[in-house]
Amino acid sequence: MNTRVKVVFPANEPDAPSWPHIGYDVEKRSIEVLSMLRHRLPELEFTGEVYRSPEQAEQALKEETGNGQHRYDGYLVYMTALWSRIAEIYVRNVNPVIVADELYSGSGGFLQVYSHIKQENLPAIGVASSNFEDIVDAVRLIDVMKQMREAKILVVADGETWGADQQTLESTQRLFGTQVTRMSAAELKAYYDATDTDQACAWRDRWLREALQVVEPDEGELLRSARMYLALRSAMADVQADAVTVDCLGLFYGDKLPAYPCLGFFQLNNEGSTGVCEADVDSTLTQLLIRYLAGRPAYVSDPVIDMATDQIVYAHCVATNRVFGPEGPANPYIIRSHAEDRKGASVQSLMPLGHQVTTAKVSVKNRAFAVHTGKAVANIADEKACRTKLAAEVDAQRILDNYHSELFGWHRVTCYGDYRKQLIDLATLYGLKIIEEDR
């Protein structure tokens, strides 16, 4: 079912002298705005209503949310009148809500309700812009939240892990509505054993052909990695999962996995799906938010701060080489062993430079969100630590001072593009505490 958005147009009585002016045709304007929204966001379903009193809005809202059922996935209050008190009804009673000012029409009322939103930390956002695309960008977040509610994460782990404990799984359901299903290492191994050898050989050969270089792993290791990729894909299909995260280190060190899932995650992320390391549900949620927002993959890393160069280095053995999305250009990659134990197969992705990158992390248990941005400036070649090492130019001192490991752990999630504002707006709609690590 399409994402359903109710657009509310507050209005004065036609003969009332007020902004925008006496006799302003709000009905006509509502038709124009709805037409623009439908043109820009055809995948969403819009319904519009003009209300001339708070009582009208309250009655409609009661009918739309009765019996615990919500007819709409979100609301846009498009401020076409002053002092109606209608926007306050929505920001205090439903979520998500976007309040947008039609300049010179509802500006005073917009500023009033927006001050309440900020002072009371209400889970709503405001847009005051002459560029209609800014409203479109905000409304698109309602669709992201709908996709998060419909998403399912597969966690492969034996028992509770640091990233997939029961409290995290329950908090995930409450905060995002995202379902989490668990699978044991033995169950994943059964999928691995059932993989088709010819298909696995085809993926092995493709990676050998496309890689810039293969350093440590032999063809047998790549074949095991290909079978693991096919196993992950089959397991996800069977449980209808949109993302998978595996306790890869614990299970491989414990001889419960026949191969690391690194190349499998690499391939899933390149294809527009989501594969995440170390049974880290918070990072998986962050990657899903970015995927639904930007249509491109991100990757988890263990960041390293370098004060000498004013850089942060995002290091991990899983990455994508389709940083601009499945249909975007591919960057070179090298197939290496996994860094810590020098076993298995992983990826060293040589990512494009000169682009803005955004790094973020959700903490569901702490209801918090961290974000910073930078500019990709180097692919670091160093045999120590993880294979992919993307360096970004940042305010390293500020990030060091603001790095809340107790809230977010070490991991962060990085994507190409500047999505700071959209991610902060999303975090606001979810009612999260926001930490801008570089400010």
CA distance linking residue 245 with residue 284, whole number of Å:
7
372-386 per-position pLDDT tens digit: 999 999 999 999 999
Instruction: Select from 4, 22, 3 the least CA-distant residue to 14.
Output: 22
Q: Are residues 213 and 86 in the same domain?
A: no
77-102 per-position pLDDT tens digit: 999 999 999 999 999 999 999 999 99
Q: Which of 126, 149, 172 is the last residue of a domain?
A: 149
Comparing 388 with 164, the larger pLDDT belongs to 388
pLDDT at 118: 97
pLDDT class for 164, splitting at 50, 70, 90? Answer: confident
Whether residue 248 is predicted with pLDDT greater than 80 in this model: the reply is yes
Whether residue 312 is predicted with pLDDT greater than 90 in this model: the reply is yes
pLDDT class for 171, splitting at 50, 70, 90? Answer: very high
How many separate domains does the chain show? 2
196-241 per-position pLDDT tens digit: 999 999 999 999 999 999 999 999 999 999 999 999 999 999 999 9
pLDDT at 98: 98
**Contact call for residues 411 and 302 (beta carbons, < 8 A):** yes
On the question of a cis peptide bond just before residue 20, with omega within 30 degrees of 0, the verdict is yes
The proportion of the chain whose per-residue pLDDT surpasses 70, expressed as a percent, equals 100
Hey, what amino acid is at 48? G
**Six token digits for residue 336:** 């290496």
Instruction: Select from 409, 380, 400 the least CA-distant residue to 313.
Output: 380
pLDDT at 160: 81
CA distance linking residue 396 with residue 398, whole number of Å:
6
Helix runs in 132-218, H state only = 132-150, 166-176, 185-193, 197-210
User: Can you tell me whether residue 200 is helix, strand or coil?
Assistant: helix
pLDDT class for 104, splitting at 50, 70, 90? Answer: very high
Whether residue 17 is predicted with pLDDT greater than 80 in this model: the reply is yes
**Six token digits for residue 278:** 């170390």
* 275 burial type by CB count under 10 A (0-12 exposed, 13-18 middle, 19+ buried): buried
Hey, what amino acid is at 208? L
**Six token digits for residue 54:** 């708070």
Instruction: Select from 272, 286, 271, 283 the least CA-distant residue to 245.
Output: 283
Q: Which of 129, 149, 169 is the last residue of a domain?
A: 149
pLDDT at 300: 97
**Contact call for residues 425 and 138 (beta carbons, < 8 A):** yes
Q: Which of 98, 130, 149 is the last residue of a domain?
A: 149
pTM of the model: 0.97
Whether residue 326 is predicted with pLDDT greater than 90 in this model: the reply is yes
Q: Are residues 122 and 174 in the same domain?
A: no
CA distance linking residue 295 with residue 271, whole number of Å:
11
pLDDT class for 151, splitting at 50, 70, 90? Answer: very high
The proportion of the chain whose per-residue pLDDT surpasses 90, expressed as a percent, equals 96
User: Can you tell me whether residue 285 is helix, strand or coil?
Assistant: helix
pLDDT class for 306, splitting at 50, 70, 90? Answer: very high
pLDDT at 66: 84
Q: Are residues 60 and 110 in the same domain?
A: yes
Task: Please state the rounded mean pLDDT for residues 314-324.
Answer: 97
Inter-axis angle of helices 281-294 and 132-150, nearest 10 = 140
Task: Please state the rounded mean pLDDT for residues 277-288.
Answer: 97
pLDDT at 1: 85
38-84 per-position pLDDT tens digit: 999 999 999 999 999 999 999 999 999 988 788 999 999 999 999 99
Q: Which residues pair with 413 in a beta bridge?
A: 300, 360
Q: Are residues 187 and 244 in the same domain?
A: yes
Instruction: Select from 148, 146, 142, 135 the least CA-distant residue to 40.
Output: 135
Task: Please state the rounded mean pLDDT for residues 116-121.
Answer: 97
Look-up of token digits 């929204």: 37
**Contact call for residues 29 and 2 (beta carbons, < 8 A):** no
Cβ atoms < 10 Å from Cβ of 131? 9
Residue range(s) defining the domain that contains residue 78: 3-149
pLDDT class for 317, splitting at 50, 70, 90? Answer: very high
**Six token digits for residue 256:** 């419960």
Q: Are residues 175 and 118 in the same domain?
A: no
**Contact call for residues 370 and 438 (beta carbons, < 8 A):** no
Task: Please state the rounded mean pLDDT for residues 314-339.
Answer: 97
Q: Which residues pair with 101 in a beta bridge?
A: 79, 128
Report the CATH number at residue 50: 3.40.50.10940
Q: Are residues 212 and 126 in the same domain?
A: no
Report the CATH number at residue 211: 3.40.275.10
